[in-house]
Each structure stands twice: as structure tokens, then as C-alpha cells.
Amino acid sequence: MALLNRRSFILGTAYLGAQLGASARKPNVIVILVDDMAQRALSCYGNPYVRTPNVDRLAKDGIRFTDAYVTPQCTPTRATILTGQYTARNRMWHVIPKYGYPWARVEEVDCSDGITRDAFLLSKGLKAAGYTTGCYGKWHLTTNADGDYTALSAAAAKYYGFDSVAAPGPPREIQTGDKGVNRLTQEAVRFLENNRSQPFFLYLAHHTIHGPVLAPEELVAKYRAKGFPQSGLHNATYLAAIEHMDNAIGTLLNKLDELKLTDSTAVWFLTDNGGLQHRFNRQKAESNPRKLEKDLSEFSNEPLRAGKGSSYEGGIRVPMIVRWPGVTPPGTVCRTPVHAVDLMPTLFEVAGTRAPQGYALDGVSLMPLLRGDGKLSQRALYFYMPFYDVLWAHTPSAAIREGDWKLIEFFGDYISPETGEYSEGHRLELYNLRTDIGERNNLAAKEKERAAKMQARLMQWIRACGATIPRLNPKFDRAKMLTQTSLRSQV
């Protein structure tokens, strides 16, 4: 982490004390969540194809995390952020509506159908602390009248701790135009204008860059003129969508400047999972489960391995940037591993509140890192993914990261994210991420004692959360093992 000079430390500490003092207005909070975007998609993380000056501005003025983690798919990450709990505890480890593979080699563990009205959420805690709260954009945490993939309904918002939601967009908005990026940004701008006089929490969840990837035609033409392809890896539309997203964030940041809210607003930026590197054909997998075929490629997550839907780093390591003027030392780069479960305890400390007594919080406050004046206690990060998803070559697995070391346990079978080749059998993989960020050198055989201890801690954690360790499926049928029982409305 970048070192803090004495003057910056004194100013930051004084500002934090003022912000959290009883007589001071609490800081505003904005959480910007982008869909399906790789860490490397931002120029501040090394994108050589697209400049993202507005997100880079957040990094320049705040703290950029190199080892920030989420879950490998949409619904679980959103549930993790709002509940402050790992999926093994909140039971939201699968995208909704649910689908499954009942004849696969490993028996999938059943998950929750969605967040319930009585669940304790980040928004409820901040609202109770005096914040005006808004949920603008993608919801994907219920499949009933309360909300769907696209949005939380206005009528149900109060049951989930939100005072307002964005006005409904036109039909099929996320399938056309710019996926509602400009409209949601303008809705967010109005939220800022209407609530400038009181502490607010804005949860802004964009649909971009989820497929179908869309962007304004003039931006697509710009990248086509630069020689980028119409389809495939690093295609012109994908790169244009990144730039368009960055422009929209610039509009929001400029509005904060205009309203003189910048210095009193903590802005968080992250994505819900890694970028879509390769997708496999689900229909062909049913007829030939031993060798999956790729049917879509969009953006390379290198040097991270694999992408969306994967237990490897490309699926779960994402960009995360926090800007809080006067608190986050400008231009800080933090290499401490952090997780989406940390947002709730951090933001509750910011707001001067806490979770209800007895509520299990799985994360820790990141305030020592944000201030730049301390470290976190040594801890492990956990990942629980007991399901199949052929699109992303995913089989039931769980993972643990301790320091530089990461262990993945595949409970009964495996699909290579590079080749699509299927193989049966339990599998342990151990990597030293400091020397092997691409997870190419499996050290489980050489480091047997370390692997065994990490595996034991992983199993102990799963049980402690009240979750189930996947087992072999008594209904296993090789002829139908990768046949999916239902279709999802959104992937």
C-alpha cells in the first residue's frame, strides 16, 4: 500500500473524526456495481485497448484494490453485498430463477429462491441510521411481484430498505440501445439533486456489460475504425460498452462536483463477477458432455485464469475502488485481499451504526485500509459454489484463500475452462497467487500438508455456516449428466 505522509494522515484522521462525530452530517454513500466486467477492463488495471478516465479518476483520488473478491455470478454477489454474508450462510449461491442438473455426477445443494422481505439488508441498516436510500438498476434478487432480474418494484422497495427506485424503463431496454446506461445515470442524477440536503445511500447497479453487449453506434464505429473485430475477443462493441460505462460514471461524478457533494460522499466501484472470457454451448453439452464447445468469446481476463462463472481468479477477482475525500489517501494501491462481505461492516462503521444483535456478519470493516493507517487481522476468504453451470464450465466446488495461498476443491468432477474437456473424480488444486497469479502450477501434490490443512479449514467453515458439503449423486446418469432441467430467463 502506498505510504501516507504525516500531513495526509492527520488530515484524514481529523476528517474521519468530524464525519463520524455526533454533531456532523454523516457521509453520503454511493455503490456503483457494473455487470460482468473484468478487472482488466479498466485502464487503471491495465486495459491496453480502452481508456477509462472517469473510473481512473476515482482510483487517482482514492484507493484501488488489486485483490478484491466477489462470487463468480450475478445473484450471489448482489446477495453478498446486501446481506454482508457469504453464500454458504445466506443460501443465495445460485442465480435465480433456479435451474439444475439432476443427473450430474455430484448432487447439487439446493439454494434459496430469493431474498425475503424480512431479511436484514445493508439498505435497512443505513435507512435506520438516518439515510435516504435508493435502488437504481438491476435487482435480480427476487422472482416475484416484488422485483425481477431488471429492477426492484417501487411498491415493494420499502420492504427491502429502499425509499426509492428508478422509474421503469421501456420494454426490452436491456436488450436494445445502450442497456439503459444513460437513463439510469439520469435517474441517479435526479436522486442526487433531490436528496442533497440529507445523508443518502445510492445503490446504482448497471446492466452493462452483460450480454447482449450493446453500446452507442458512434462508439462502436470508433473502435471498428481502430481495427477491432466485429465479434470475438476484444470486439468493437464490447470495448465501446466499456467506454460508454465510463462516460456515464463521469456524468455522475460531475454532478457530485456541481452539487458540491464530492467531499462528503464515499463512492465505491466494483463489479459482480469477472468478465465473460468464454461461454460454452449448453445444448451441445447435453449430446456430448465429454467435450464442451465454445460459442462466445468477449474479453480476456489475463493474467487471471478463466472468467465469469469460474472458481479461478478470472471469475472472482474484480476491480474495487473507493474514493472518500479526506479519508482515502489519493493514489493508494492496496494488495490486501478483501471481499464483498466487507462492504456492510465498513459502511456501517462509516454511518455510525451496526447490525442487529445476533446477526452474523462474515466480513470486517475496511476502514484501516481506507484510511491507510492500519492493517486487517489475518483471515481467510471463502467461496462456496455447490452447483453446475455448463455455460461457464463450472462444477460443484469451494475455495479458500489464506495469504498468498488459494485452494480449490472440486467435489466430484471437473471441466477445463480452456478446452471444455470433462473429467470425473475429486480434485484439489493449490496455488501460490504471489508467484502464480494465472493458477497454472498446481502445488497440491508438493504441498500436501498445507493443502490438507486448508481443505480441513474450508470444510469446517462450510459446516459452521450451516451449509452442506456436496456428495456424489445417487441418480448419476452419464448419458444425461450435463442436461439442464429448466431454462433461465436471463443468464
Predicted model pTM:
0.93
Judge contact between 297 and 278, C-beta under 8 A.
Answer: yes
Report domain extents, the chain.
6-379, 382-480
Supply angle C-alpha 65, 131, 259, rounded to 5: 75
pLDDT tens sequence across 299-316: 999 999 999 999 999 999
CATH code 3.40.720.10 for 6-379 = yes
Write out the DSSP string of 283-301. Answer: HHHHH-TTB--EEEE----
Question: Looking at domain 382-480, which CATH architecture does it have?
Answer: 2-Layer Sandwich (3.30)
Tell me, what's the pLDDT at 10?
37
Rounded distance, CA 77 to CA 343, Å?
12
pLDDT tens sequence across 58-105: 999 999 999 999 999 999 999 999 999 999 999 999 999 999 999 999
Rounded distance, CA 235 to CA 264, Å?
39
Tell me, what's the pLDDT at 258?
98
Rounded distance, CA 249 to CA 269, Å?
10
Closest to 103 (Cα-Cα) out of 484, 398, 425, 386: 484
Q: pLDDT 10s per residue in the chain (491 long)?
A: 333 333 333 333 333 443 344 347 899 999 999 999 999 999 999 999 999 999 999 999 999 999 999 999 999 999 999 999 999 999 999 999 999 999 999 999 999 999 999 999 999 999 999 999 999 999 999 999 999 999 999 999 999 999 999 999 999 999 999 999 999 999 999 999 999 999 999 999 999 999 999 999 999 999 999 999 999 999 999 999 999 999 999 999 999 999 999 999 999 999 999 999 999 999 999 999 999 999 999 999 999 999 999 999 999 999 999 999 999 999 999 999 999 999 999 999 999 999 999 999 999 999 999 999 999 999 999 999 999 999 999 999 999 999 999 999 999 999 999 999 999 999 999 999 999 999 999 999 999 999 999 999 999 999 999 999 999 999 999 999 999 998 433 33
pLDDT tens sequence across 349-389: 999 999 999 999 999 999 999 999 999 999 999 999 999 99
